Amino acid sequence: MDRPIRWYDYITININWFALTARSQVLTPLIIPLLVQQFVGEATKGARVGEIRLYALMLAILVQAFMGMVSDRSQSRWGRRRPFIFIGTIGELLVFAAIGFVAGLEGMTGYWVLFALYLLSMFTSNTSHAATQGLIPDLVPDEKKGKFSGVKALMELPFPLIFVSFVIANIVAGGNLSQALLVLSASMLFCMLVTMFVPEKRLEIKPPPIDWSYILRLLVMTVGFTVIILGVGQAVKLVTRLGNSMAGAGGLLLVGIAGLIGMAISVVLGVVISIRISMGKEAKASRSFTWWIVNRLAFLVAANNLATFLVFFLQERFANFTSQEAAKPAANVILFVGVFIILSAVPGGWLADRFGKKKLLVFAAIIPTLGVMLVVFGPGMTSIYAGASLVGIGTGLFYSVNWALGTAIVPKEKAGQYLGLQNLAGAGAGAVGAYIGGPIADNTSYVLLMTIYGLMFLLSIVALAGIKEQRSS
């Protein structure tokens, strides 16, 4: 930036995070599950949501990495990032218009059209996402990056969650999905237009060519991770059928254990193989980094998928929450989680420095486990809101402390390359938890699935044993 920072730069540089989070919080826990339920019915709704999430999130890994590299090298007169934010947002609005039309379809035709549109939505949104990530590093001086990141946190969590809970969720609960998508589209268009006032300049220095070998390794890594999830998912389905043929609680216990072990295998094997493919020989010297990703992925498998299946869980627990009626309480639960994430993330860094990052991560895993148990076994919505608050506290601590641990163990000279691979956890979490968990819930219950997610929080603790923490004196 060739001028001093002005007050409105804090808004223009960060406001697109509001749009991106609002989009994910409307589509993932509300629109997609309800439309899938409408198209395929009750028997296979969980499995179909898992299927659509798996392929969409694997695509997200590729698109975000590729578009980030392309925008790095853009020499557009409008700047490196703004053209991609503009194109990605306009493309997303067209996809939303098409999804509104799809809501009138029926059966598997509607499902497969929705499947294709959701993949396209992942392409467009991650085009915008990859470019938005570059605005603060590109334009903000080091001494002001902390303040800008603080505004980013507000735009990324509490503001969009409040908007979704009090505005869009009420529209969805009223059964008007098309109107909800229209309101979401208007908010995203507004955020994109404000972002166009970011004072970007044309990149004058010719950038180096794209490293296509890295893209090829990323593609192979993504395919390998997908194959592992598919294979483990099929094995868990076989055990689930066996468990359903058994009488009493033994079958239910067998399915629960199979689901937990299946997710654990996918997490560990998926990360180890993916790191080996992407980093080659260097992976052997990066044991702590590998287990850091395992810890992050195991935790996020639980945290991310609690929201994905929340609507179905509430429909199962409460007879009066039929179809869209579950959208409003689901959004309120997510709001509780988001508010407490903010409240606990801020002191998390200070606590980590005082007591040690690994010790605090153990604490951060135990708290949401207790929260999930309260959600699953509590008597009513009050206990669910209380449990959601505990999940938010633990997740907020985890976000700040786990990231601080990761930045401390990666080589400083290769921090960008290493930390770029953490999207294995971000996108992989939804894929692992939804694809393996969906069929379990269809054949048993969403109470069992939520319990498995609660235990995945605890499982993340095991990975800490492989991480060598560097403590300051």
- The mean pLDDT value for 226-241 works out to 93
Position 471 confidence tier, pLDDT thresholds 50, 70, 90: low
> Rounded to an integer, what distance in angstroms lies between the CA atom of residue 225 and that of residue 231?
10
pLDDT at position 192 over 90? yes
Least confident of 165-174, 284-293, 409-418, 447-456: 409-418
- CB distance 134 to 68 below 8 Å: yes
pLDDT at position 467 over 50? yes
Expressed in percent and rounded to 5, the helix, strand and coil fractions of the chain are 85, 0, 15
Q: At what angle do helices 357-377 and 446-462 cross, to 10 degrees?
A: 170
- The mean pLDDT value for 111-123 works out to 96
Position 353 confidence tier, pLDDT thresholds 50, 70, 90: confident
* 200, HSE (Cβ side, Cα atoms, 13 Å): 29
Q: Which two tokens stand for residue 100?
A: 């509104």
- The mean pLDDT value for 168-184 works out to 91
Which helix or strand (DSSP H or E) is residue 158 part of? Answer: helix 158-163
- CB distance 327 to 173 below 8 Å: yes
> Rounded to an integer, what distance in angstroms lies between the CA atom of residue 338 and that of residue 21?
11
> Rounded to an integer, what distance in angstroms lies between the CA atom of residue 346 and that of residue 324?
35
Average pLDDT, the chain: 88
- The mean pLDDT value for 112-125 works out to 96
> Which tops the pLDDT comparison, 72 or 374?
374
**Maximum average pLDDT range among 108-117, 197-206, 341-350, 460-469:** 108-117
Of the candidates 109, 116, 117, 135, which has an alpha carbon nearest to the alpha carbon of residue 38?
109
- The mean pLDDT value for 154-163 works out to 86
Q: At what angle do helices 177-195 and 82-102 cross, to 10 degrees?
A: 170
- The mean pLDDT value for 76-82 works out to 86
Position 462 confidence tier, pLDDT thresholds 50, 70, 90: very high
Q: Which two tokens stand for residue 22?
A: 């609002």
pLDDT at position 472 over 70? no
- State residue 378 phi and psi, 5-degree precision: -70, 160
Percent of the chain predicted with pLDDT > 70: 95
Position 1 confidence tier, pLDDT thresholds 50, 70, 90: low
- CB distance 388 to 371 below 8 Å: yes
pLDDT value of residue 417: 58
pLDDT value of residue 408: 76
Q: Is the Cα dihedral 210, 216, 221, 227 positive or negative?
A: positive
In tens, the pLDDT along 374-427 reads 999 988 999 999 999 999 999 988 888 887 788 777 666 555 556 666 667 777
> Rounded to an integer, what distance in angstroms lies between the CA atom of residue 444 and that of residue 439?
8
The full set of domains in the chain, from first to last, is: 1-197 (1.20.1250.20), 211-473 (1.20.1250.20)
| Residue in this structure with the two tokens 């001093």, named with its chain if needed | 4
Position 109 confidence tier, pLDDT thresholds 50, 70, 90: very high
Q: Which two tokens stand for residue 286?
A: 């990066």
pLDDT at position 473 over 50? no
Of the candidates 470, 439, 314, 290, which has an alpha carbon nearest to the alpha carbon of residue 383?
314
Q: How many CB atoms lie within 10 A of CB 148?
A: 19
pLDDT value of residue 418: 64
- The mean pLDDT value for 421-445 works out to 85
Of the candidates 436, 176, 198, 105, which has an alpha carbon nearest to the alpha carbon of residue 302?
436
> Rounded to an integer, what distance in angstroms lies between the CA atom of residue 122 and that of residue 92?
9
- The mean pLDDT value for 246-255 works out to 86
In tens, the pLDDT along 281-295 reads 776 767 888 899 899
> Rounded to an integer, what distance in angstroms lies between the CA atom of residue 133 and that of residue 278?
22
- The mean pLDDT value for 250-267 works out to 93
